[in-house]
Amino acid sequence: MADEQIKGCGARLMNHLKQHARNMDGVTHLLTCADNNAVDYFIKQGFKKITLEKERWQGYIKAYDGGILMECELHPKFPYSYLTTMISHQRQAINERIREVSNCEIVYPGIDFQKISDEFLGTNLKLVINLITEDAGWTPDQYGHSRFKTSNASADTVSNREPLTTFMRSLLKQIYDHPDAWPFKEPVDSDNAPGYYDIIKDPMDLKTISKRIESEQYYITLEMFLADVRRMFANARTYNSPHTIYYKCATRLESFFSVKFQSSLQYSKIQHTHS
């Protein structure tokens, strides 16, 4: 059956089921208890976290270990049985329009790196970017890159980034070792969180933050680091309900982080300037 899955047969059958259930039986929602191996399929078919009141479905559908309850709300007018044909026509129309207005056939010359002196190449990518963009009049300060600086020095030099990197590493370790950090140590697995990446457009986790710190290139300001950490907590509260363990872990861990951040800042070489 695995070689049949990529042919779209399951999607066609599901679309005909939706059309028939809606038109013939007046069904407004489809519910399923999806096996972990089938969660991705049901997400692609429009199934998400159940939003119906428990009183409407509890006792009518059985949940079991290794399965996830999911729901698909049927649109009252959507032509499900003609979905494949409709998408094909839309894609064709878009491609035709793109060909009318696009100049993608034009090939522009690349950057002539021979004109860039050796001191810029292989040493500091930021200097190369500045060299390339200086004709446009762009400067890093326009985007707030100088708002958080190390003491008595420019934040753009490698030596002055070391205190910032050390500060972030220390904070991240304290977060990572906290008992409530377990939901945030790895990127969210969509198999265990149906529709997560449909709801959360900018995901964040401790592993990703750690990689960005260790690159010593991504977080050129303290603000960027704080934004990622706060977004990680905000994402957890956006996707999960207040009564869930994930929501509670996010709230407790963020409170712990805020306290540790303020106390660590007092004894560091980092100067934090509020917006």
Q: Which two tokens stand for residue 170?
A: 């220390």
User: Each residue of 121-146: pLDDT tens digit?
Assistant: 444 555 555 555 554 455 555 444 43
Contacts of 255 (CB under 8 A, 6+ apart): none
Is the pLDDT assigned to residue 218 strictly greater than 50? yes
Q: C-alpha angle with apex 16: 11 to 18, nearest 5 degrees?
A: 95
Q: Which CATH superfamily is domain 139-271 in?
A: Bromodomain-like (1.20.920.10)
Residues 142 and 258: their CA atoms lie apart, in Å, by: 28
Beta strands at 270-271 and 149-150: parallel, antiparallel or unpaired: antiparallel
Share of the chain above pLDDT 90, in %: 25
Share of the chain above pLDDT 70, in %: 75
Max CA pair span of the chain: 74
The reported pLDDT for the residue numbered 211 is 92
Q: Which two tokens stand for residue 236?
A: 């957890």
